[in-house]
Structure 1
Amino acid sequence: MYGSTPAPHVAESEPEKNFVESASPYVAEFVGSYLLVFTIGVCSIVANPLWGPTAVGSTLVVLVYIFGPISGAHLNPAVTVACGLAGQISWQKVLSYCILQISAGFVAGLACYAVFQLPMGVSPVDPFSFWDAAFLEVVYTAMLCFVVLSVATSRTNNPANNQNNFFGLAIGLVIIAGGQAAGKISGAVLNPAAAIGLEVAGAARDHSAPYGFAYSAAELFGGIVAAAAFRFVRRHELSESEPSFTSGVFCECFGTFLLCCTIGLSLTQQSDSTPWAAGAALASIVYAVHDVSGGHINPAVTMAVVLSGKCSLERGMVYWAVQLFGGLLAGIATAAYHGIGGIATSNLEPNGDFSWMSVLAVETVFTCILSLVVLKVGPQSNFYFGMAIGSCLTLGGFASAQISGLMNPAVVWSVAIANFTSSITSISLLYHCLAFCLFQLAGGVLAPYLHHLTKEIPYTKFRSVLD
């Protein structure tokens, strides 16, 4: 990872490493895992629950950039197992890394307890059950491992002779998204080293079951799912060919499912940071799959790309279908969390005193901005394109939070499914869903014409007029 694997064309043998060079990857994994688990422990005690996931995600970004060139900066047994299953590292190193990571988590858990004298542990947040929590641990650990594999080990997304600069950011954003979406249900541990380490420190808590080890099993399963998904999506790299159509279809479905789950879970918890979670999720997904499917993850964006001529109508229609299917699966999955513990369901109607004209304005404009950014920045060899795309959900969501701020027909469809399956609703839900989708698709239709207009009027012409 991150350049630790030599390029295929290198024929000569590497110079023999001394003891320090040989030991440095293992030291990096221990130290990095300790710092990460210690941060998770501290955040679980003193951090604001709203911003704790951002603190942990930011820590992971920093640690990945520090230790990535040395050890790969897995810092997580689930990630290490996923890399082993994907054929990225040897199983001898998998075993060594996992032992060091779990040992570091154990030491970090003891250190947290020694400093704060408070039990931490890991367990489902009342009133949710273990299975409610375990499902989310699987989903978001799979998302984390899939992103790590895609941005750090893929030969096309991170070639040895032109490595990307966004790998650490993309990985940390998954923690922010998963923490915001699942934090109030499972705690969003997503790391067996943290689950076991904090379980040790939480021994004083009255647990009815050893949740730390149960969480670890769920997270390792998430790593297995991610490795299987990565091998399917990136199988073209073995033959050095172009990504297949089915790989792109899978990426759009899987990515839309993850985005809709993140937004749906955040909405049901009435989180004030839903736009931040949505933007983080979209940015990480775009960084992971942009070179396979284009990273649309939104029927309105696909509409814009098709109308701009960058995607065929046939491919676009299949993308629309699988994006809506991903939203359907996410709606069914998140419906189970509606109404539990007093968590309110989401509405597909104007909030407060705002009218449908307000919804039309904000959904059309902000979806247009999102689609226009996708057309303008595109998946290029730069650092910012994923963040630029994800930031559109953040800015649009915060700007229009009091009105709507969904900006994605698949998300709207997902929310409608979740409401429909969790309660008996009237036919008006269908009309509301269609209205939101039409407003957003209008933004997708408008974007390519603005893109074409601005493309046809170069800056040099404006400059000559100003001069």
Structure 2
Amino acid sequence: MTQFAAEMIGTFFIILLGNGVVANVVLNGTKGNNGGWIVITTGWALAVFVGVVIAAPFSGAHLNPAVTLALAMAQKFSWAKVPLFILAQFTGAMLGAVAVWLVYKDHFLKTPDKGLKSAAFFTSPAIRNNSSNFFSEVLGTFVLIFVIFYFTNAEMGNDKTPIGLGSLGAIPVAFLVWAIGLSLGGTTGYAINPARDLGPRIMHALLPINGKGSSEWNYSWIPVAGPLVGSALAALLYLWLRI
């Protein structure tokens, strides 16, 4: 499998299962309706586990532009490959969102609440405060990237062992994402991944979803810029600690 395919397919499975668990919990008439935050965070952790298992041997399992950016800043990943990886991640995220819509299409039709429909695609804050929401995304992503750098040997990768979330191992990274969701995700829904949020948001705007409402473009920059800033700060701290 090529690195592009690994990143695309791994991200596809993350969105399929991650946004899938949100759809199962929030949409009307599903078996998991009203399952709650614990179900959502657990489902997302397992979704990341699946994505990492698929992609790690081939690309290192970045599956997130914030991870790719941080590794490039830390000189552990080639800047020349950054656009390719990010394109793969966004492609996978958009395809995953389409698959979730197809699976739950009948339940989207039975759900009148526009906010619940959009929740199965992209994040939105519990309390709208751009500065606080931005900080939440920065901090959540900082934790993700800092753990990859500092508490593991992710920096010891080489050409035969691609660097990324897979450097943690699929089970530890799933627990890391679960911990972030349980502890820090209550404010914004913890996108901590620009592709995870913007890719499905684009598909929400494009798909013929009955009564879907706004794609909230006025908020969309926060789950993109916040994770990128958080990843950059984690990379800079990692570089400083190496001095």
The two structures have a TM-score, normalised by structure 1, of 0.41
Q: Is the 8 A contact 1:128 1:185 kept in 2?
A: no
* One-letter code aligned to 2:154: T
Partner of 1:52: 40
Q: 1:38 and 1:213 mapped to 2: Cα distance?
A: 23
Q: Does 1:224 align with 2:240?
A: no
Q: Is the 8 A contact 1:80 1:94 kept in 2?
A: yes
Partner of 2:185: 183
Partner of 1:195: 197
Partner of 1:140: 140
Partner of 1:33: 11
Q: CA deviation at 1:59?
A: 2.5
Can you list the C-alpha shifts for 1:144-172, whole angstroms capped at 9, x where unaligned?
1122233252239xxx8xxx985333322
* One-letter code aligned to 1:36: I
Q: Is the 8 A contact 1:32 1:67 kept in 2?
A: yes
Number of positions where the alignment pairs a residue of Structure 1 with one of Structure 2: 207
Q: 2:167 and 2:13 mapped to 1: Cα distance?
A: 23
RMSD of Structure 2 on Structure 1 (CA):
2.4
Higher relative contact order (CA 8 A, sep 6+): 2
SS of structure 2 residue aligned to 1:51: helix
SS of structure 2 residue aligned to 1:107: helix
Q: 1:129 and 1:44 mapped to 2: Cα distance?
A: 23
Structure possessing the higher radius of gyration over alpha carbons: 1
Q: CA deviation at 1:28?
A: 0.6
Q: Is the 8 A contact 2:141 2:231 kept in 1?
A: yes
* One-letter code aligned to 2:5: V
Q: 1:233 and 1:108 mapped to 2: Cα distance?
A: 37
Q: 2:145 and 2:4 mapped to 1: Cα distance?
A: 20
Q: CA deviation at 1:103?
A: 1.4
* One-letter code aligned to 2:4: Y
SS of structure 2 residue aligned to 1:211: coil
Partner of 1:85: 73
* One-letter code aligned to 2:49: V
Q: Is the 8 A contact 2:14 2:50 kept in 1?
A: no
Q: Is the 8 A contact 1:123 1:130 kept in 2?
A: no
Evaluate the alpha carbon distance shift between residue 105 and residue 220 of structure 1 in structure 2; reply closer, same or farther with a 3 A threshold.
Answer: same
Q: Is the 8 A contact 1:106 1:197 kept in 2?
A: yes
Q: Which runs of 4+ in 1 moved over 4 A?
A: none
Evaluate the alpha carbon distance shift between residue 65 and residue 110 of structure 1 in structure 2; reply closer, same or farther with a 3 A threshold.
Answer: closer
Q: 2:58 and 2:149 mapped to 1: Cα distance?
A: 17
Can you list the C-alpha shifts for 1:101-131, whole angstroms capped at 9, x where unaligned?
0111122122222332333243433434233
Q: CA deviation at 1:202?
A: 3.5
Q: 2:86 aligns with which of 90, 94, 98?
A: 98
Partner of 1:211: 219
Counterparts of 1:191-340 in structure 2, within 5 Å, are 191-203=193-205, 204-235=212-243
Equivalent pairs: percent with the same residue?
24
Q: CA deviation at 1:96?
A: 0.6
Evaluate the alpha carbon distance shift between residue 41 and residue 74 of structure 1 in structure 2; reply closer, same or farther with a 3 A threshold.
Answer: same
Q: Does 1:61 align with 2:65?
A: no
Q: 1:126 and 1:179 mapped to 2: Cα distance?
A: 14
Q: 2:175 aligns with which of 173, 176, 180?
A: 173
Partner of 1:154: 155
Q: CA deviation at 1:25?
A: 1.5
Partner of 1:42: 20
SS of structure 2 residue aligned to 1:154: helix
Q: 1:208 and 1:69 mapped to 2: Cα distance?
A: 36
Q: Is the 8 A contact 1:199 1:211 kept in 2?
A: no
Q: 2:215 and 2:153 mapped to 1: Cα distance?
A: 38
Residue ranges of structure 1 left out of the alignment (5+ in a row)? 1-22, 236-467
Evaluate the alpha carbon distance shift between residue 148 and residue 92 of structure 1 in structure 2; reply closer, same or farther with a 3 A threshold.
Answer: same
Q: Is the 8 A contact 1:124 1:130 kept in 2?
A: no
